[in-house]
Amino acid sequence: MKKNKYIFVLLLLISISVVCTCGTFFYVKFNNGSNASAASGGKEDEFVIMTSCNPVYIATLNVVGDTDGVTVSNLSQPTTGCLHDYTLTTEDMKNLSSADVLVVNGGGMEGYLDDVVEAYPELTIIDTFEYVEDRVELPEVEDHEHEADEHSQEKSAAQEPNDFHRTVEDEHEGHHHEENSHIWMDSELFAYQVQAISEGLCEADADHADIYKENSTEYIGVLSNYVDKSDLESLQGANVAVLHAAFVYTAGSLDANVVAVMDLDEERQVSAGEVSDFIETIKEKDVKLVFAEYDYGNAMGKLIMEQTDAKVVYLETLVHGSYGVDDYLTTMNENYARIANVVE
Ligand SMILES: [Zn+2]
């Protein structure tokens, strides 16, 4: 990991010096690209905001609205899922070099963040997780390895939250879940992210502060009025299990009780023991519902359906594909509709 980071920094430095020495060449080359909206770079009076992933991209689009002279673009997105192990492309770095602000989810989601801070010391970074963490008590990160452990309750009581996080991080190499950073999956927390972006932009671009404030207030109102969980009250206090840490927040948004977490993604190898512990927990705790992501969870999902009474419902996490200004609301409501279908 260390070595990779070193190589990355080296590549970064090389590309920066290349950009510096052949600036004109690169300027022409990148601006011929079709996706160069963010790097329209040349316009000096343009305020350029980059975002790291779809949830904060959508939030920022709503805060900015159609403000003249402000552009919002998303960095290129991984095609396989969450950002956790994503590294920036050359085009991303070029775009960042002409950006005024980078809005990130934070909480360890963007593994490349330290390198960005180092390479672009002038860039203003709005870290939405940090903002939320300072204001809301977030659920503790579960360590699934110890979940079936008979002493787990004493342990979690005795263990500092930070130790807990470290255990999770060490456990699967290269996968950084120091925190459960998927906060956007709970619209109330997402509203705080919107607020974080609004406050950060008001400071970084004071000329447009009134517009940002107005837009964010309006969008937060939309979120609290139009995220529809009305058919799901029966899940309050119910035991559920999740196959991706993101759904801990989905469960939290419904006041359901998460009793088992198995964080599946493209590089996760699950042991037979872990699978049987998970199945056991579902049976023991009378779990009726399991939230999963289809791409990584469907094999495990099938097994759960075969071996337990629980139903598995497949949800979206907003990390796949490209999204527009209204897509947070539609995606969350689609998720809740899918859950409601299974619950009834
Ligand atoms: Zn994830």
Quick: pLDDT tens for 255-298: 999 999 999 977 778 899 999 999 999 999 999 999 999 999 99
Q: How far apart are CA 117 and CA 122, in angstroms?
A: 8
Beta bridge partners of 127: 104
User: How far apart are the CA of 245 and the centre of ligand 1, in A?
Assistant: 6
In this prediction, residues 116-130 reach a mean pLDDT of: 97
Mean pLDDT, rounded, of the chain? 82
User: How far apart are the CA of 175 and the centre of ligand 1, in A?
Assistant: 9
When mean pLDDT is compared across 76-85, 147-156, 188-197, the lowest value belongs to 147-156
pLDDT at 162: 33
User: How far apart are the CA of 264 and the centre of ligand 1, in A?
Assistant: 8
User: How far apart are the CA of 84 and the centre of ligand 1, in A?
Assistant: 7
| Contact (CB, 8 A) for 267 and 174 | yes
pLDDT at 178: 63
Question: Alpha helix (H) ranges present in the chain?
Answer: 2-21, 23-32, 54-64, 90-97, 113-119, 128-135, 152-158, 161-171, 187-204, 209-226, 246-253, 272-284, 294-307, 327-343
123-136: burial string, b at 16+ Cβ within 10 Å, e else: ebbbbbbebbbeee
Which is more confidently placed, 191 or 145?
191
pLDDT tens digits for range 29-78: 333 333 334 444 456 789 999 999 999 999 999 999 999 999 999 998 88
User: How far apart are the CA of 319 and the centre of ligand 1, in A?
Assistant: 9
Q: How far apart are CA 282 and CA 288, in angstroms?
A: 8
User: How far apart are the CA of 146 and the centre of ligand 1, in A?
Assistant: 20
Q: What is the DSSP letter of 207?
A: G
Q: In the numeric block, which tokens belong to residue 289?
A: 């519902």
pLDDT at 142: 54
Residue 165 has pLDDT above 80, yes or no: no
User: How far apart are the CA of 148 and the centre of ligand 1, in A?
Assistant: 22
Region at 149 (left for phi over 0; alpha for psi -120 to 50; beta for the rest): beta
Q: Which domains does the chain have, with CATH numbers?
A: 2-135+183-226 (3.40.50.1980), 230-343 (3.40.50.1980)
Residue 11 has pLDDT above 80, yes or no: no
Q: How far apart are CA 49 and CA 40, in angstroms?
A: 12
User: How far apart are the CA of 32 and the centre of ligand 1, in A?
Assistant: 34
